Amino acid sequence: MLSLSRYFRYSLRVKLEPETAFIGKKFAYIFLGIIFSLNAITFIWFFLFSNFK
pLDDT digits (tens, 9 = 90+) for 1-44: 556 566 555 556 666 666 666 777 888 999 999 999 999 999 99
Q: How far apart are CA 50 and CA 45, in angstroms?
A: 8
- pTM for the whole thing? 0.52
From the list 49, 26, 29, 27, the residue with the least C-alpha distance to 37 is 29
Question: Which residues in 16-44 are b (16+ Cβ under 10 Å) and which e?
Answer: eeeeeeeeeeeeeeeeeeeeeeeeeeeee
pLDDT of residue 48: 87
